[in-house]
Chain A
Amino acid sequence: MRGVRWGVRFVGEVLITAGLLLFLFASWELWWTDVTANREQATTIQALEKGFAIGGLPERGNQESMAILTKVPFGQAFGIVRIPRFGADYARPVLQGTDHDTLTKGMGHYVGTAFPGQIGNFALAGHRTTYGRPLHNIDLLQKGDIIVVETKASYVVYAVDRHVIVTPDHVDVIAPVPQQPGAKPVEAWMTMTACHPKFSATQRYVVFAKLLKVIPRASGLPSSFMAVPVGAVH
């Protein structure tokens, strides 16, 4: 009888412990990853801004700076994404590669896709939830919304065109001509992918934006591009 009581108590305590650990894991995933990732990504932004401010590239011309950009090593940050719809101070680093580690540090650039401003498709992946959730509000983007991709050489301005919701195997969304695999690109597009619905892996929310303008860093970014759209939630 004593043994049974002990056994029941032991099992109960194990179950309570398991419950607490699951709760702990949920709070880590939903809260702590945001805390650490936001801090790390803000530091990366500062370092990038500092690096961008140091001159040397712009006068060498866009061709050459693009050549340097295309040799960015895997995992390295090379750009800043600014989306006024997500707030005037919204800024997220762009890193080369889309593996788990890279995506905890910012948005990831699909290896092999175009670089900012290039003809083809500049494709990014970002977290919708957890790890600073850079694309948490991707579903709020509307046609015409401005996306500024800042690199050492220039401000590359895209305007949102449309979105699709697809299953994760739809790699055609990051094709050089979005959704037309095999087609020869003549325009510069940008694609962002995030999970959909939130906290799920079943689908992807994909936004396509079309190149509006490439502005050399020396010219500065007109403030009109950074105006927060009316009705933005932030």
Chain B
Amino acid sequence: MYGPLWRLLPGPWPVKALLALILVIGVVAVCFLWVFPAISPYMPFNSYSVQSGTPR
């Protein structure tokens, strides 16, 4: 999976490394800004309130 990806990146290896780094940063940013905030409410370990029915 990572092998083909590496071969897909253009240029000599320093360019490939730079592009790979940018890709990694992009993935982390997407996770931090959109993915994680979206799934966070469903996580069980940061509940705070009391309520009847399903607590969160």
Contacts and interface: CB of A to CB of B under 8 A. Distances in A.
Interface of A: 9-10, 13-14, 17, 21, 24-25, 28-29, 32-33, 98, 100, 103, 108, 110, 125-131, 135, 166, 168-171, 173-174, 193-195, 199-201, 204, 206
Given A21-B31, A24-B28, A28-B31, A127 B45 contact: no
A103 B48 contact: yes
Contacts of B45: 129, 195, 199-201
9 contacts: A13-B2, A98-B48, A103-B49, A110-B49, A125-B50, A129-B46, A135-B48, A193-B49, A201-B56
A131 B46 contact: yes
B49 A98 contact: yes
Q: From DSSP, what is the main secondary structure of chain A's interface residues?
A: mixed
Given A13-B1, A24-B31, A25-B31, A169 B46 contact: no
A185 B7 CA distance: 72
A71 to B, nearest CB: 22
A21 B48 CA distance: 26
Contacts of A25: 31, 36, 39
Most buried by B among A10, A168, A194: A168
Q: Which 8 A-B pairs have the closest CB atoms?
A: A168-B55, A201-B47, A125-B49, A201-B44, A199-B45, A100-B41, A125-B48, A28-B36
B48 A193 contact: yes
Interface of B: 1-3, 28, 31-32, 36, 39-41, 43-52, 55-56
A24 B27 CA distance: 11
A169 B48 contact: no
B49 A108 contact: yes
A113 B22 CA distance: 50
Contacts of B1: 9-10, 13-14, 17
Contacts of A32: 32
Contact of B46 (A130, A170, A173): A130
A218 B12 CA distance: 70
A193 B50 contact: yes
* A13, A108, A166, A195 pick with most chain B CB within 10 angstroms: A195
Given A125-B50, A128-B46, 4 more contacts: A24-B31, A127-B46, A169-B52, A171-B52
